[in-house]
Amino acid sequence: MDFIIDNDANGDIAGNVAVDIARARDENKIAENSVEGEFEEYEDHKMDKESLAIDMIPDAVPAMPMVAADEPYLGQEFDSEASAHAFYNTYATRVGFVIRVSKLSRSRRDGSAIGRALVCNKEGFRMPDKREKIVRQRAETRVGCRAMILVRKVSSGKWVVTKFVKEHTHSLTPGKARRDCIYDQYPNEHDKIRELSQQLAIEKKRAATYKRHLELIFEQIEEQNESLSKKIQHIVDSVRDMEDKQPQSQT
């Protein structure tokens, strides 16, 4: 944030400005600690602290030429997280890779989003499949690529690029990334369909077993009801016989 002080301003104004600057820096440090502390662990890969560190940047971003950027750069501003995502996605499509939305940082004060990491979809490594003996091994899609950007929301409400890793550890296919990604997903989708079909068949067998058990239980209940009805009827008949015999004995 830039402050302009007239030469004829008194010492009180200058003192107030100095206090505001110090306060803004303190708030910036608090927000930064929140971003570093709030990142949650990846589902299948843990990035080291260096790759997740958020560089401290002031609210006043150095002036940049007012031209359309071809690639992200430190200090680049966006009006929203969605704008940053759209820009990086366009850049990725042009360069030849696919992005994946990664870690989210939230404010400890109100839970609002204040940081987001966008990574290459080949980031990290896929965890071994425990079902690899019964499920066909899928083609490897993650190779530990570290290309990514990290954007942080500053006090002005803008989202600023605080980290940008440009280099990839795999070949790029400019203009074909999205199509190649769709093609690569087909085998995975087939595996999922086959797996779901197997699970459905198992559930059907299990349901049939449960149905048979219920039928047996109902049969047992009916048998017990019949037996109980016979016993009750026998008791009723016995009571009637006793009642019939009592008047005869009295006469």
pLDDT at 154: 94
Element (H, E) at 113: strand 113-120
> What digits encode the pLDDT tens for the residues 113-131?
999 999 998 887 776 655 5
pLDDT at 23: 52
- Burial class of residue 147, CB neighbours in 10 A (0-12, 13-18, 19+): buried
Cα separation, 147 vs 172, in Å, equals 12
pLDDT at 215: 93
pLDDT at 55: 38
Cα separation, 164 vs 146, in Å, equals 10
Angle at 155 between CA 152 and CA 160, to 5 degrees: 30
Query: pTM for the whole thing?
Result: 0.43
Spell 69-97 as b/e; 16+ CB within 10 A means b: eeebeebbebeebeebbebbeebbbebbb
Please report how many Cα atoms fall inside a 13 Å half-sphere around the Cα of residue 202, on the Cβ side. 6
At position 15, the amino acid (one-letter code) is G
Question: Which residues in the chain come in under a pLDDT of 50?
Answer: 1-19, 21-22, 24, 27-68, 180, 182-187
pLDDT at 202: 87
pLDDT at 171: 86
- Domain residue extents for the chain: 22-175, 176-245
